[in-house]
Chain A
């Protein structure tokens, strides 16, 4: 199949603009990223600058392949990362617009690559639990009710890709932060740092320049792991109660 790609180029000789590329012979069985690999091979053979894009596992679990395809982070399919989108979902002759995630907290490094280290700093500020070193505990030493375990697990499926920020009209990181806070607040292992965690993570989130959630729910719709905005409600509860009842003045 024949496709036209309209790709955002930024860095090097490009100041930040869309450039059109024709791909005359795309195999429908290719994944989206393989299609970009083919484009890059052609660009390299023509001695042109290849399109920079991020990828790692190509299995839909690492969250590295960040890009906005036709206005949607990770492309047209629900609950799917870019690497799991296949070209059979497109029609012959179609034009596909590919852009980087856009947010002030995610500056563009080059082309489709953005710097998402703001997420790392949010995690560093509180997204951890303290455990004693030594031998691993017996798996059943701490009983956790099934519904709670499932809910914590649902939150823990967040791969930190940043699609929520990219989709949000306010570039808010609340869905990401809420998934991380929920995951640990629900589990007994997360109780020790529970209040401190939410206070620190929100402080860091605000410092990074993300916007404020206005409950548009675009994040939930675009999240490749379908994290629910009910986590944002929990984050709000956690933050309000931690602010009111923190153990320090």
Chain B
């Protein structure tokens, strides 16, 4: 009877341990992977975002030629991948810092002085060829062209579209919850430790059985995370996202696949830990059985 009640107590505690482990996994993934700039930045090179942004901008400036009258070649030097890459990286760093509440403003550090000079030179050339008087209208046109070009480039470098997310209020909502991620991680890990201790307490007569239940909890929590993560990865599920802009698609899917890989790695380590717990349980249980057998043989 006692064995049955201990068993049921352990089952209940293990269920709680499993959910605590899943919450700890998720909270830890958000805090240390999804919001960690260092973990996200490799997506820039892995997904060749600078090349993709450069191609997008070239297409956009080419398409705008007929409306603006400014040849795409005027912008060519300012939108090379090597010039865009630092801006993309800065946009990502700043965006995630904003999300974590580390900075109050969404911005991308940039230097468009070279681009401004090229636009000015083009207008000067145009004005000279067409005898355009350099009045207020002329200077306003130059100013507008520079502002439009800068806006277009900065918008393209915002590969995760933080500005759009901020404009629609998504970031504001996220910013109110994200600072709690750290506390959530601490709380989740604290709960995991609490249930581990409770499992040992429930099995204080046979402490090695505690390792069995802990191993079971870790194994099931890992499997429950591993199965969907493997499914997402092997079906290339995020590729179904209908994001039209090439670089945004690459950034978002690259980021999500990176997160999925991190979950898979953590789950695999957790399974190894679970197997370790089972081995400890088997070893200690075997020793206890041998001691019993020897003691009863003596009697």
Q: Do A and B bind each other?
A: no
